[in-house]
Structure 1
């Protein structure tokens, strides 16, 4: 049998996962592997300015493409990326973290090399990754193929990060080529007895229900179950209502009359809260109950008969059904509603015609309310809307997405600065779609170099910077006038040129609603022409979205300042 090398085997498996861009930073322990990356005509190397940006970009890429990869060097490089990998783990994003490490015999001898802690232990950093990955390995020449398949199989099974140490001497070691497609490992399958009992229990719960609401979370997206979820909603007929947590935004058709909005516990709009909390039966699909998603745990779901669907089990009332995955559970529920129309809820009332929203004059100073109204009117079908945490996320989650649009926001891990490099990754993952990023000035300052990376690799996101003079979300929680919530007053429209974008970028500055509309029109044209667009939207530092104010008041109480 003809052989390949470990590096080419690994790259082939990455490509099989749908990965055609790899993000990272070169270092002396990964340069041999990067030679193979550069020579591979199916994968493009994207060199970031630092490993944290590379990890965030791989995360954003994975949310759109299904998997992502970040390559770093040993010690200093991998630890710079570890925050990004932790965020991917928290939010169930399948990222392959590849570390170039010293040669096998050098590590075995415990030699005191640079990038080590100087104590001869070469497993410190691997142990650190143990808490934020579902599988890890240090490749050897004799077991590389089997170990790569095992680790990537775990990534497919759990939709969470994995970590691969690739010693310099193993990169070019001979390796047999794959003999079968990559598959998920340790998948127990669906026990037909458990599935039958689950369906029967759901039928009993649904039988008396006159109103049913499906409330979704992020696992629907990570397991690629948008269409399966849509089938369930369709099977329920005109009686089903739908809602999503912020983490699950984009998993439902928000143009449908069934969509009741984004649920944030007691802080939700009254119509959304009632649709969720007053339903006769609630189907909680692929969701986790987090503090921000539930408005500081202000939700009231305990009294509602609930069918809860997790990635590896389901719960109906008090009964847990182990080894029952999301996909078979959703499919079974859809089949149940189709086969027994009597279980469908009563038709919901036709929605009334919404009153037109008041609009500002357009020439007055730009406000949060007007900004989100103007942005909402510019969203297009198929857009990828990305928002950073804070003012951006709490405004963006209330926007109704057009058909086929996606939403990316790290609202569980909440690492500010994530969204800019994540938008770069998302744009490279889907170059035929427009990536629209909304990010605060404080968040942008953490990862601003990604603007230059986007231009360098031909990505053309539209970046809207909310310049409200500091960490507004922190001001709303505590320290409204404290100096620690201030940031430097950057010249944001000068950043693309400073980072090398040159003619590949358009910059605009808006202080009124009319200026913002003009800027967004020009930005859309720039995107179509393949240019990065940065729009600075100048806002008052004390002007915040209503939802952000409400959530921050609860966080202030929760933190007991």
Structure 2
């Protein structure tokens, strides 16, 4: 017999979800029994926030992720992770074990509630951080779960499904059609495609300096191949926004670097801002990826492609999926449009005495040489991200970072998610000491899950990015001096982990070589650098922010 629980599990599998992250609790235990009897594997985490972060990291590689919480306390613990997934367009299904329908109908004062009989407040809260939500009922569970799961897939944002305890074993009709359309896409109307083609041809035809600017929504909406075909068709120079790092092949001669407005390298800035036809694909502008809104796209010469809409000047093409728009542009480019290949400076190895104190410059130089084709690089939004972001990645590398939401501590559980999602690929996690202290306990979950990441902990004695943008002698950016290399043992990793500290270039080289020799274990490398030593891009951005702040403080005149 198909039950509501078994039907929900089957529909998750149709989304490509093979693992469920979460924490067991009384309102979800019956559902967990059904999970353990299915092909869906449960990965228990130390808390619900870690589970939400892990589901986010998993979804970025698999296309969707899932997290299980209990009502009230559990889902509120996960809420920051769900909000981050919403902000960054990551499809995560949050399943909430809820009190029984009999209890809610009687408005009884239950644990994990405010004891006022209001069982809807947490669903109302999630209206702000999910694209759809439902509390399943006996009469309409099948159609309601399908509606919400399709919203998750279509909009690439989280959803909340609450399952009352007394409905876990309730009967449900088996699916009579697939959850997703064939090929996971709906056909675009021919008139819409024709109108878009005509408008785009007006800009592309005769363009001498066409260029592409890509961002993270290319990844979320599975448009990698269509974008790669467009770039290859005209050998178009392609730059990325920092949220979109990894969405184009950075080893190709067409790669034009990372565009961050006025903070961009001169060559990258010229490719984007001097283009006579800029194709902006999945671009989202925020303060953090535009150099403080210093971006300058060519006025009147930009073709903007979003997930379900395109814009060319004043013309808007609603309902046009991103992959279909890219196919049209590729066909136009094949008609004779050719780009000018960018000229990026070659990476110059950083010279350093083997026994000298380690610096950020040396660390990220060695990291660039350490990354291999097929790796998954997870970079914390702090000094680690600013070190990683200027690394020109080999082909086939995915980069996971939370640039927009920027919740520190996100990446350690997210790396757990990437390890589980892609166990045959190597996950490299770069995280600062301050960020790691928020979610460090999930190091133990790596071992329980058999995950084998390389974890590089940048120990600079506190919140270095805050020191960079707001220098002060006050101690609020300092943190407790943990012994980071000892943490895997503390959290139960045992022989599954290898740990080492590096204070000099020679020790770092040896540590990275050790990691290469131990692919079957978690390797944690604690890297010690100075508290006011920053990656070059962060130092430059911080200097501009301080100058801008001083100008504002000084006022006019």
Distance 1:318 1:96 in 2: 36
Aligned length: 550
2:280 matched to 1:284?
yes
Which one of 459, 470, 473 corresponds to residue 467 of structure 1? 459
**Equivalent residue number for residue 224 of structure 1:** 222
Cα 1:371–1:304, aligned 2, differ >3 Å: closer, same or farther?
Answer: farther
**Equivalent residue number for residue 138 of structure 1:** 135
Distance 1:407 1:323 in 2: 29
2:324 matched to 1:328?
yes
**Equivalent residue number for residue 448 of structure 1:** 440
Deviations 1:275-322 (A, max 9, x none): 111111111001101111111111111536100001111111222111
Distance 2:245 2:345 in 1: 24
Normalised by the length of structure 1, the TM-score is 0.95
2:265 matched to 1:273?
no
Distance 1:371 1:291 in 2: 27
2:367 counterpart SS class: helix
- Deviation, 1:554, is 4.5
Q: Is the 8 A contact 2:384 2:431 kept in 1?
A: yes
Which one of 370, 375, 384 corresponds to residue 362 of structure 2? 370
Distance 1:356 1:89 in 2: 39
- Deviation, 1:188, is 7.5
2:530 matched to 1:537?
no
**Equivalent residue number for residue 74 of structure 1:** 71
2:190 matched to 1:168?
no
- Deviation, 1:480, is 3.3
Which one of 405, 410, 428 corresponds to residue 402 of structure 2? 410
- Deviation, 1:39, is 1.7
- Deviation, 1:362, is 2.6
Q: Is the 8 A contact 1:280 1:304 kept in 2?
A: no
Q: Is the 8 A contact 1:155 1:184 kept in 2?
A: no
Distance 2:385 2:350 in 1: 22
Cα 1:204–1:558, aligned 2, differ >3 Å: closer, same or farther?
Answer: farther
Deviations 1:468-520 (A, max 9, x none): 01001111122433211111100000100000000010001000111111101
Please list, as runs of the form range in 1=range in 2, the aligned pairs for 1:259-408 lying within 5 A after superposition.
259-303=255-299, 305-338=301-334, 340-341=335-336, 344-348=337-341, 351=343, 354=346, 356-408=348-400
Please list, as runs of the form range in 1=range in 2, the aligned pairs for 1:516-535 lying within 5 A after superposition.
516-526=508-518, 528-529=519-520, 531-535=521-525
2:32 matched to 1:38?
no
Distance 1:353 1:68 in 2: 39
Cα 1:355–1:130, aligned 2, differ >3 Å: closer, same or farther?
Answer: closer
Which one of 402, 413, 427 corresponds to residue 421 of structure 1? 413
2:27 counterpart SS class: coil
Q: Is the 8 A contact 1:295 1:554 kept in 2?
A: no
2:198 matched to 1:200?
yes
Q: Is the 8 A contact 1:250 1:407 kept in 2?
A: yes
1:549 counterpart SS class: helix
Distance 1:317 1:481 in 2: 50
2:147 matched to 1:128?
no
Please list, as runs of the form range in 1=range in 2, the aligned pairs for 1:495-506 lying within 5 A after superposition.
495-506=487-498
Q: Which moved more, 1:291-300 or 1:382-391?
A: 291-300
Structure 1 unaligned runs (5+)?
A: none
- Deviation, 1:195, is 1.7
Structure 2 unaligned runs (5+)?
A: none
Q: Is the 8 A contact 1:157 1:187 kept in 2?
A: no
**Equivalent residue number for residue 8 of structure 2:** 10
Please list, as runs of the form range in 1=range in 2, the aligned pairs for 1:230-245 lying within 5 A after superposition.
230-236=228-234, 238=235, 240-245=236-241
Distance 1:348 1:284 in 2: 17
Q: Is the 8 A contact 1:285 1:308 kept in 2?
A: yes
Distance 1:347 1:293 in 2: 25
2:107 matched to 1:117?
no
Which one of 236, 245, 253 corresponds to residue 257 of structure 1? 253
2:49 matched to 1:57?
no
- Deviation, 1:190, is 2.1
Distance 1:299 1:347 in 2: 21
2:409 counterpart SS class: coil
Distance 1:57 1:225 in 2: 23
Which one of 408, 415, 439 corresponds to residue 431 of structure 2? 439
Q: Is the 8 A contact 1:52 1:84 kept in 2?
A: yes
- Deviation, 1:27, is 1.0
Q: Is the 8 A contact 1:387 1:393 kept in 2?
A: yes
Q: Is the 8 A contact 1:306 1:317 kept in 2?
A: yes
1:9 counterpart SS class: helix
Cα 1:437–1:352, aligned 2, differ >3 Å: closer, same or farther?
Answer: closer
Please list, as runs of the form range in 1=range in 2, the aligned pairs for 1:507-518 lying within 5 A after superposition.
507-518=499-510
2:545 matched to 1:548?
no
2:295 counterpart SS class: coil
Q: Is the 8 A contact 1:381 1:403 kept in 2?
A: yes
Q: Is the 8 A contact 1:390 1:440 kept in 2?
A: yes
